[in-house]
A and B are shown apart, each in its own frame.
Chain A
Amino acid sequence: MSTIIDLLKSLLSLSLGDFIRRTFGTSPGIELLIDIGGVVILSTFCLLIVIFLIWLERKLIARMQDRIGPNRVGGRYGALQTVADVVKLLSKEIIHPSGADWISYNAAPILTVIAALLVWAVMPFAPGVIGVDLNIGVFYVMAISSASVMVLLLAGWGSNNKYALLGAFRAVAQMVSYEVPMILALLVPVILARTMSTDGIIAAQSIPFLLFAPVSALIFYISSLAETGRTPFDLLEAESEIVAGFHIEYGGMKFGMFFLAEFVNTLFWSGMFATLYLGGYRFFGLENWVSADGYPYGRMIGLIVFFIKTFSVYFVYVWIRGTLPRVRVDQILNYNWKFLVPLSLVLIFFVALIDKLIPAGTGPAARMSIHLALNLLLAFLTLEVLRRRGRQFRESLSGGDGPGGREALFPDDDHGHGSDAHEAPAHDDHGDMPLGSREPIAVPIH
């Protein structure tokens, strides 16, 4: 009886491992079992929460687009819609495209899920509730997610389909590009915390790093959008351009695996953002509360706080998806290489310098203020540079004087001839002009 109460209390305080050690003693075999149990619980959680995530996203997007969303299966709120979808996927026929490369075609969906699951091993859910607190946690995350890019090439090449291969190439170019600002942005929390361990980074956040490094947080967030291939960077799918990207030839549960990995990854990056910049499970020390009889009930508080933060970040992902249109492939890559990467290089440069110049005894609040001031200055300078560049660009288009701008912006625009177009009849060969006429049809700009 007392064992059952012990078990319940352990469950409530998220210390099942301690319970097993208390009850069955400590030995390598027991430790192995605890590890296996941890892996199974963590993976099952990741897979099952996707069902909820998909429903949530559909509901939220529907509300943002003034629709109702799923409302039939499982009551008014369509709560079982995703379950029905899973059943549908399970009953689909598995089609093997002719000429597909068997190994790569079948390995890709499996590997993508494995990579999406493996990164969760270093996610700190609550104090002590973490798969394993690697001392190189952040680097581990980067390594796994970087290696998972290969899976796209496997899927694209294995499918024996032009669209799939084209989509895979685009996706790889995009993901590989956005990994650079992400790595550089991740260096900032590591520098601030002086450790790569995810738990250590949380321990260092007596003030959330969002206030230390808002620019780094923003860069990280934007890159994680591109890494997961979500709108506005969902070029990997781009239904209207390359049909569905690298997973066009996949059907049934194999397609489901790609879908699942995408959602697991999105939730993971939300959790990572919460961990690195929002203080993770920290909640004014309450997360470390241990009751008088030795059960760390604070862990439950930490878990709840962690999920509140994670889902807030996740909500912003959905919000962005409901708001922004997709950008073009050249815009994506230019934005990365010509804006995010230089900005993050400058940022890392300044953070590395400033944090060393702050005297060692400075309190966290003063340190935070200096970093915040630096970040705001950097943001201001960036915006100023962008403003100047934008003005220069517009002036170079308008040729220096007055209202010819629109013509230069749209050189193929048949109707937009400005004042100086009369001297230079460059559009003589336009089809809608009277043949031989030296005088273009003048339609005023409104």
Chain B
Amino acid sequence: MSQQIVFFILAAITLTSAIAVVALRNLFHAALALMASFLGVAGIYILLEAGFLGMAQLLVYIGAISILIIFAVMMTRRMMQTRETPFNSQVVAALIGTLLSFAVLVVVIGQLYPLVPGTDTMLGSAPAVDPAIIENSTARMGLSFVSADGYVLPFEAASVLLLAALVGSIIIAWPRSGEEENL
């Protein structure tokens, strides 16, 4: 019962701030709302007993990506003073399309999984597992990153991706020599 209350609070935080992200004209406020949304999602992870990923969400999304976004907002800030609508010309079509796709998703989920809580129906509540399994899930994940029958290839690919992202961003963002830095 208390878990359900917590779930609804977190879902409300996540969705309200997500809507604020797409609706607010002031980009700085939108970035703040984005952070609140990330926080809500981190709470959802913790509710799903993935505490490590909840904290990783905090570390990466709020501690790093949000800072990148806010820096970018500051650097392109002249845009923020426009009084015009934050939406582009296809806003109505986007709204209809989004609502339609959401409706389809709801119907599909409703068909596949029970919507009411209950232990008797399958997936009506989180299956009980040995606490040790949850307790060791972080170390197990670490092990599977680097074991040969695990995910060592995606793991190394992730580091190559990060390297490429770093090098690429520096090449793109760094002003070429001679170019006047007019930021």
Stretch of A145-153, A221-229, A296-304, A357-365 that contacts chain B: A145-153
A103-B32 CB under 8 A given contacts A139-B55, A196-B138: yes
Contact indicator A150/B58 (Cβ below 8 Å) = no
- A144-B58, A147-B59 are known contacts. Are A153 and B67 too (CB-CB below 8 A)? yes
Q: Which residue of B lies closest to A148 (CB)?
A: B63
A136 vs B56: C-alpha distance in the bound complex, in angstroms? Answer: 11
User: Could you tell me the distance in whole angstroms from the C-beta of B106 to the nearest C-beta in chain A?
Assistant: 33
Q: Does B35 contact A (CB under 8 A)?
A: yes
A135: CB under 8 A from chain B? yes
B55 partner, pick from A143, A149, A153, beta carbons under 8 A = A143
Q: For residue A104, which residue of chain B has the nearest CB?
A: B32
Q: Which secondary structure dominates where chain B touches chain A?
A: helix
**Proximity bits, B71-85, A CB within 8 Å = 1, else 0:** 000100000000000
**Which residues of A have CB within 8 Å of B58?**
143-144, 146-147
Q: For the side of the interface on B, what is the size category?
A: 10 to 19
Residues of chain B lying within 8 A (CB to CB) of residue A143: 55-56, 58-59, 63
Chain A residues closer than 8 Å to B35, beta-carbon distance? 150
What A residues does B102 contact at CB under 8 A?
none
CB of A355, distance to nearest CB on chain B (Å): 15
A154 in contact (CB, < 8 A): yes
Judge whether A142 and B28 touch: CB under 8 Å.
no
Return chain A residues, CB-CB under 8 Å to B64: 146, 176
A319 at the binding interface (Cβ < 8 Å): no
Where chain A touches its partner, the secondary structure class is helix
Q: Are A136 and B51 in contact (CB under 8 A)?
A: yes
Q: A-facing mask of B116-135, CB < 8 A → 1, else 0?
A: 00000000000000000001
B59 contacts A142, CB within 8 Å? yes
Tell me which residues from 164 to 181 in chain A have a Cβ below 8 Å from any Cβ of chain B. Answer: 169, 172, 176, 179
Is A130 interfacial (CB 8 A cutoff)? no
A146 touches B70 (CB 8 A): no
Complex CA gap A146/B29 in Å reads 20
Nearest Cβ distance between residue A112 and chain B, in whole angstroms?
14
Contact (A176, B138) CB under 8 Å given A136-B52, A139-B52 = no
> Which residues of B sit under 8 angstroms from A142, Cβ to Cβ?
55, 59
Interface bits B31-68 vs A (CB < 8 Å: 1, else 0):
01001000000000000000110011011001110110
Which residues of B have CB within 8 Å of A140?
55
A interface residues (Cβ-Cβ under 8 A, vs B): 101, 103-104, 134-136, 139-140, 142-144, 146-147, 149-150, 153-154, 157, 169, 172, 176, 179, 196
Closest 4 CB pairs of A and B: A146-B63, A143-B55, A143-B58, A143-B59
Interface residues of B (CB under 8 A from A): 28-29, 32, 35, 51-52, 55-56, 58-59, 62-64, 66-67, 70, 74, 135, 138
Q: List 9 A-B contacts (CB under 8 A).
A: A104-B28, A134-B51, A135-B135, A136-B55, A143-B58, A146-B63, A157-B28, A176-B67, A179-B63
Beyond the given A101-B28, A150-B35, please list 9 additional residue pairs across the A-B interface where CB-CB is below 8 A: A135-B135, A135-B138, A136-B138, A146-B58, A146-B59, A150-B63, A169-B74, A176-B64, A179-B63
